């Protein structure tokens, strides 16, 4: 196999595609966590998004409805988490775990009749430019609209958090819910909104997998990507731009591992598959050692229950 320039272009394009679900889910979770809520249900919300997107595509034959529906189902399932943690003040970690277990079970139940049905081709944009421009063509063009959205999302998230009033409100609620509440901000409502937004993005991330990346429904098809997305948020020290970089690194490892297998590289594939997880641990160790670095963006009240005496 020759490593010519056009091959590298195609490689980069496929790395981008594999990082999309991570970017979407991690960007959503980032907003949720910035408001002080730790939702470990990312994997569960993603898998629900994946099955509902695919099921809606099969039933309605309309990809737009499928995409919007997957986001909506992410919102619905995250509403369970929101109601429990915000209205009934339950522990964030336990509730999130329950959401993941519940989501995986429910998705397999709903998806029973959708196993083995072939997916539909998702429209790609600028496909002619992809072929005609060497190297940059496969990188910049010929992707689905969801990919372009995903790559814009970290920048939009960054702008939202740093430059808008609403972003400031979200950060204030995450850093000091008590003072935010004293300023007249309804902490619970803000956190509800952030949880539901996170659910929508995780739903979309799931739908990207079942409609675009590998267009079919397979039980448990998110295969731990939700947990990687969660790790990515910490990896990125709650900074949206670093989420993008981290997702590309993880996507890169996934793709590299496939190609090394194809070349017949001598390292067992299981070791390559374990790399993203080991990388996450190493990065966690490196960033957590420096407490100043991690405190810079960490929402101070992350995972803590807020209760206001009425």
Partner 1 sequence: MIKIEKRNDVPMALYFFTPFIAIILTILGGGIIFYILGFNPIEALKFYFITPISNLYGLSELLLKATPLCLIAIGLSFCFKSNNWNIGAEGQLTFGAIVGGGVALLFYNQEGFYILPLVILAGAIGGMIFALIPAILKTYFNTNEILVSLMLVYVSKLLLDYLVVGPWSNPEGFNFPETRQFSDSSRMPLLFEGLRIHAGIFLALAAVMLSWFILYKTYLGFQIKVSGLSLKTAKYAGFKGKTMILVVFMISGACAGLAGVGEITGPIGQLHRMISPDYGFTAIIVAFLGRLNPFGIIFASLVVALTYLGAETAQIFLQIPKYTGQVFQGMILFFLLASDYLLFFKVKILNLKKNELRH
Residue ranges binding partner 1 (CB under 8 A): 40, 80, 84, 88-91, 93-95, 97-106, 108-109, 112, 219, 224, 227, 230-231, 234, 268, 270-271, 273-274, 277-278, 280-281, 284-285, 288-289, 291, 294, 309-310
Nearer to partner 1, 189 or 274 (CB): 274
Q: Are 205 and 49 in contact (CB under 8 A)?
A: yes
Distance in Å, CB of 88 to partner 1, minimum:
4
Q: Which one, 241 or 274, has the nearer CB to partner 1? A: 274
Report the first-to-last Cα separation within the chain, whole angstroms: 69
Task: Using the minimum distance from each CB to partner 1, give the nearer residue, 16 or 230.
Answer: 230
CA distances from 302 to 13, 81, 217, 309 (A): 35, 15, 34, 20
Cα 301 to the chain's mean position, in Å?
22
Residue 4: partners with Cβ closer than 8 Å, 6 or more residues away: none
Residue 162 or 293: the one with the smaller Cβ distance to partner 1 is: 293
Handedness of CA 252, 160, 74, 58 (dihedral sign): negative
- Who contacts 201 (Cβ-Cβ below 8 Å, separation ≥6)? 24, 25, 27, 28, 29, 71, 74, 153
What's the closest the beta carbon of residue 20 comes to partner 1, in angstroms?
21
Choose between 63 and 84: whose C-beta lies nearer to partner 1. Answer: 84
Using DSSP's 3-state secondary structure scheme, residue 117 falls into coil
Q: How far is the CB of 149 from partner 1 (least distance, A)?
A: 27
Nearer to partner 1 by Cβ, of 122 and 250: the residue is 250
Alpha carbons within 13 A on the beta-carbon side of 133: 14
Angle among Cα 24, 30, 31 to the nearest 5 degrees reads 100
CB of 292 to partner 1, least distance (A): 12
Q: How far apart are CA 53 and CA 119, in angstroms?
A: 11
* CB nearer partner 1, residue 9 or residue 276: 276
Q: Minimal distance in Å, beta carbon 33 to partner 1?
A: 12
Residue 301's closest CA among 156, 133, 173, 213? Answer: 173
- At 26 the three-state DSSP class reads helix
CB of 19 to partner 1, least distance (A): 18
* Closest approach of partner 1 to the CB of residue 272, in Å: 9
């Amino acid at each position: 196999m020759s490593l010519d320039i056009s091959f590298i272009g195609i490689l980069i394009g496929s790395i981008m595609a594999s990082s999309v679900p991570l970017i979407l889910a991690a960007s959503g979770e980032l907003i949720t966590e910035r408001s002080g809520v730790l939702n470990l249900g990312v994997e569960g919300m993603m898998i629900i998004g994946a099955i509902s997107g695919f099921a809606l595509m099969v039933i309605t034959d309309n990809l737009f409805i499928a995409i919007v529906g997957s986001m909506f189902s992410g919102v619905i399932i995250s509403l369970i988490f929101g109601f429990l943690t915000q209205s009934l003040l339950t522990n964030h970690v336990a509730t999130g775990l329950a959401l993941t277990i519940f989501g995986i079970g429910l998705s397999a139940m709903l998806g029973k009749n959708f196993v083995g049905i072939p997916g539909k081709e998702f429209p790609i944009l600028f496909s002619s430019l992809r072929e005609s421009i060497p190297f940059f063509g496969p990188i910049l063009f010929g992707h689905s609209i969801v990919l372009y959205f995903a790559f814009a999302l970290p920048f939009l998230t960054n702008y939202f958090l740093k430059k808008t009033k609403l972003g400031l409100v979200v950060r204030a609620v995450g850093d000091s819910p008590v003072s935010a509440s004293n300023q007249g901000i309804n902490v619970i409502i803000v956190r509800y909104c952030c949880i539901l937004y996170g659910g929508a993005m995780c739903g979309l991330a799931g739908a990207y997998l079942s409609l675009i990346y590998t267009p079919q429904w397979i039980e448990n098809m998110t295969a731990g990507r939700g947990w990687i997305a969660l790790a990515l948020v910490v990896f990125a020290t709650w900074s949206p731009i670093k989420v993008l970089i981290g997702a590309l690194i993880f996507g890169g490892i996934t793709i590299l591992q496939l190609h090394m297998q194809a070349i017949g590289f001598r390292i067992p594939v299981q070791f390559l598959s374990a790399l993203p997880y080991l990388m996450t641990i190493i990065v966690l160790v490196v960033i957590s050692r420096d407490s100043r670095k991690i405190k810079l963006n960490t929402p101070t009240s992350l995972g803590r229950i807020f209760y206001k005496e009425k």
